[in-house]
Structure formats: structure tokens, C-alpha cells
Amino acid sequence: MPAMTTTAMLDHELLELVSSLVCLLKNGKIDFVNHAGARMLGLNSQAEAIGTQFEDFVVSDYRFLMEAGWELLAEEEFLPLKLLRVDGTAFEAELRVRRAQPTSDIFLLEVRDISKFVKSAEALREREERLQGVLASVAEGIVTINDSGRIESANPAADRMFGYARGKLVGADLVTLLPEADRERHHRFFDAYMAGLFPTLMGRQVEGLGQRADGTSFPMEISVSELRHGRHRLFTAILRDISERKENEERIRRLAHHDSLTGLPNRNLLNDRMRHALARAQRNKSRMALLYVDLDKFKPINDTLGHEAGDEVLREVAERLNRCVRSSDTVSRVGGDEFVVLLETVARPNEAALVARKIIDSLAKPIDYKGNICQVGASIGGAVYPDDGETMDEISKAADIAMYRVKHAGRNDFRFYSEIAESELD
């Protein structure tokens, strides 16, 4: 018979003594199945299975395991799956794949019927989680770790993710994949878990840093599950490079709080920083100041040279404003040509006036755009806490009023709300 020709070196009688399903695959097709296996699959005879694909007896949702390739599956221990009998009923099973011989293209499959062991919803959930781990391993990094913390296997995705040649991770301590600063902490947590502490660590997704072979680091998401074989414990870690996700999150966060043209904080971030600055000033009984800066002669630049010129001028204005303040202060763009400067911890009211004068002088210098000289100025209105108001709204309104007084008085100057109040009282 053909089956005897391809498996002449194997003792079929010995395989018949095994109570589990045992079959031999050649070129992906069943070349032999023992009597126990035929009964398990509901076949009338062993001959019915010869020449069929093993996948034909696998529930469709679990056939992704076969898609990974028998070579890859041969590197794993028992994998959970569901099989179909010929009458269409499904049963829980565990599959182990091994090469019949080191250089052979024949694979030995051993399948155990574990239906009677799956008695609770918790057992079912844990099995499904392990299945999800196997599924993720096809597209993402997966490493198996023994109870000594050493890597027993790593799939190609893990090798690529961390920049190692195939097989180089096997035998290495898992901390090889972590930055130096995180390794001692990992050892402490691993030892504590093995001692019975932190029993809820398994199954959760956590974020951390991974380290590549070249020493560079990247953000990754880690999910670890545990499989026990007698007294031994095997851990499976699913590793995902989330660099792109983190970059997108940072981009979204920045767009929500910064002006897209100048990169300055927008009104949302300004209001948040004002709240914090005001709270500190109230707590420390100190002063803070707010400067409303409205550009003069900006509209003619847009009208004559175009919006690209206007955008370049705004970017240059933003840089000059930043150079006029301390790193602890905030320069924000709140409108087309409107900026707000938040000065924290102003010791004396005239300190804010010095900054306003510095801004006027800085913006008085011409801006060159492609050989065209652009000249702008600024009308600045200022307010000081607590002299000109005790709330954000009061201080903002006072600075706005002062700025409009400068506009009406001839522009390119600065005034503070207290000066206006005094002049009106006089």
C-alpha cells in the first residue's frame, strides 16, 4: 500500500497502542491515522482518513493555526483547538506537532481529546485567551518563557521587532528585550509572581519600553499568559510595537493644544496654564501678568504678498515673542494675528512693562520674506493679578480693554489696565 511505502521506517503497531489520536502527515495530507484517532473522529475505518487534509477535521475558526505552517507549529508545545467529527459535532482538543525525523518532511501529529477537562467558563475563557495569543503570534511578536525567565522560542516577528537574527533570542533572559533601567524591576516582579504574589498579573495588557539589539528603544504593548504542565510553568508573551500609535496619539494631543501654524499653545492650553498660574499666585500671594498682543499693519502683508507671506510673518513673530520671555512663561496664539503672553511670578508690576517694551522693540525690526520687507508692530494691553482682577475672566477682560485703548490711541505701544483706571479716575 502507498501508506506503507512512505512510512516503512515507522512502527505502526507501536502507534496503535497510543490512546490519543496519532496521525502522520506527508505534504499536508494524512498518510496514517491510528485506530484510536479514527474512533475519535467518528470514522468507520482508518482508511477513510488517508489522503485527506487534516484541516478538514478542524473547526473553521481554528484553521489559522494550520496557516502558520507545520514547521512553525512543530516549535510549540500543545496548542488548544476544536476538531470536528464526521457527524459534524465538535470537541475540545490539544494538538502537538513534531517532525517524524529531523530532516523528514513527514510530521507526527498527536491530538488529545480534552473535552472532559473543560468543565467551567473560566477554563474556556483561559483557553480562548491562549488561542488569541497564538493568533497574535502570526502577525506580532511572540516569545515563550520558561519558569526561569529564559526565552524558549521566538517567532520571526519578534526577531524582526527587536533586530535579532533567527534563533539568537532562544536561551536569552527576557530582560534582554528591556532597557537597562527596567531590568531589575522586571526581575523583582517575576520573582514575586513565581512566589505567589501578584496573581492577577496574567492576561492584562500593559505598556512599556522594548530595547532592540542596536540599543534603541521603542514603546510596546505586552500581554502575558501562563500555561502549566505539571510542576513546570510556561509563559507566552505577545509583544506589539506601538510606536505609530503613540506618535498618532501625540500628534492628536498636540493638535488639541497647539496652533498648527506656529506651534504655540492655543487658547485651550493657555486657559489651562492660566488656571494653574493663578492658583499658584493665590497660594503664594504673588503676582502674575497677562499681555494681549495684537499685530499692527499685518493685513496689508496678506493683501499684497499673499497668505504664504502672512504665515511666514506669523511664524517669525512667534519666535520673537518666545525670545522675549522666560521658559516658565507662555506665549500663545489665540486668533489670526492675536497673541497672548502669560507671565508667571511677576515680582513687581513694572516687570511686565519691561517685557511689553521688549516685545515692541523686537517686532519693530523688519521681517524679510523672499526679498520683500515686511513691517509690523504691536498694540499690547496688560493686566496684573491681583491689581487688575482676581479671576481669569477679570484679568483677561482687563488686558483686552487695555489693548483696545492702545489701538484707539495710535497703535504700536502698550498700556496696562491700572493706568487706564487711574486716568479715568483723574
CATH number at residue 397: 3.30.70.270
pLDDT tens for 49-103 read: 999 999 999 998 888 888 778 888 888 888 888 999 999 999 988 899 988 877 7
Say if residue 2's pLDDT is above 60.
Answer: no
pLDDT on residue 3: 44
Residue 393 in grid coordinates: 475672566
Say if residue 215's pLDDT is above 50.
Answer: yes
Nearest-angstrom CA–CA distance, 20 and 94 = 10
Residue 421 in grid coordinates: 483706571
* Domain annotation covers residue 252: no
- Are residues 265 and 395 part of one domain? yes
- Are residues 280 and 353 part of one domain? yes
Neighbours of 120 (CB within 10 A): 9
Average pLDDT of span 201-222: 85
- Are residues 75 and 48 part of one domain? yes
The one-letter code for the residue type at 380 is I
Q: Which residue has the higher pLDDT, 186 or 265?
A: 265
Which of 219, 245, 271 is the last residue before a domain boundary? Answer: 245
Give yes or no for a contact between 210 and 178, defined as CB atoms under 8 angstroms apart. yes
Give the residues across from 378 on adjacent strands.
Answer: 295
Confidence of residue 254 (pLDDT cuts 50, 70, 90): confident
Give yes or no for a contact between 232 and 145, defined as CB atoms under 8 angstroms apart. no
pLDDT on residue 246: 87
* Domain annotation covers residue 1: no
Residue 86 in grid coordinates: 464526521
Residue 15 in grid coordinates: 502507534
Nearest-angstrom CA–CA distance, 11 and 262 = 77
pLDDT on residue 123: 64
Average pLDDT of span 309-313: 93
Q: What is the number of domains present in the chain? A: 3
- Are residues 198 and 100 part of one domain? no
Confidence of residue 199 (pLDDT cuts 50, 70, 90): low
- Are residues 299 and 270 part of one domain? yes
Residue 411 in grid coordinates: 497703535
Residue 285 in grid coordinates: 500671594
* Domain annotation covers residue 129: no
- Are residues 169 and 66 part of one domain? no
Residue 371 in grid coordinates: 526679498
pLDDT on residue 75: 83
Q: Which residue has the higher pLDDT, 130 or 423?
A: 130
- Are residues 289 and 355 part of one domain? yes
pLDDT tens for 137-158 read: 556 888 888 888 889 888 888 8
Confidence of residue 426 (pLDDT cuts 50, 70, 90): very low
- Are residues 362 and 313 part of one domain? yes
- Are residues 143 and 78 part of one domain? no
Which of 222, 245, 268 is the last residue before a domain boundary? Answer: 245
Show the domain range for 102: 21-116
- Are residues 406 and 313 part of one domain? yes
* Domain annotation covers residue 7: no
pLDDT tens for 353-373 read: 999 999 999 999 999 999 899
pLDDT tens for 127-137 read: 666 755 554 45
Those residues with Cβ within 8 angstroms of residue 167's Cβ, 6 or more apart along the chain or in another chain: none
pLDDT on residue 425: 42
Say if residue 1's pLDDT is above 50.
Answer: no
Say if residue 122's pLDDT is above 70.
Answer: no
Which of 81, 116, 151 is the last residue before a domain boundary? Answer: 116
Mean pLDDT of the chain, nearest integer? 85
Average pLDDT of span 185-209: 75
* Domain annotation covers residue 253: no
Say if residue 47's pLDDT is above 70.
Answer: yes
pLDDT tens for 154-164 read: 888 888 899 99
Q: How many residues does the chain have?
A: 426
- Are residues 398 and 282 part of one domain? yes
Q: Is the peptide bond before 102 cis (omega within 30 degrees of 0)?
A: no
pLDDT on residue 225: 82
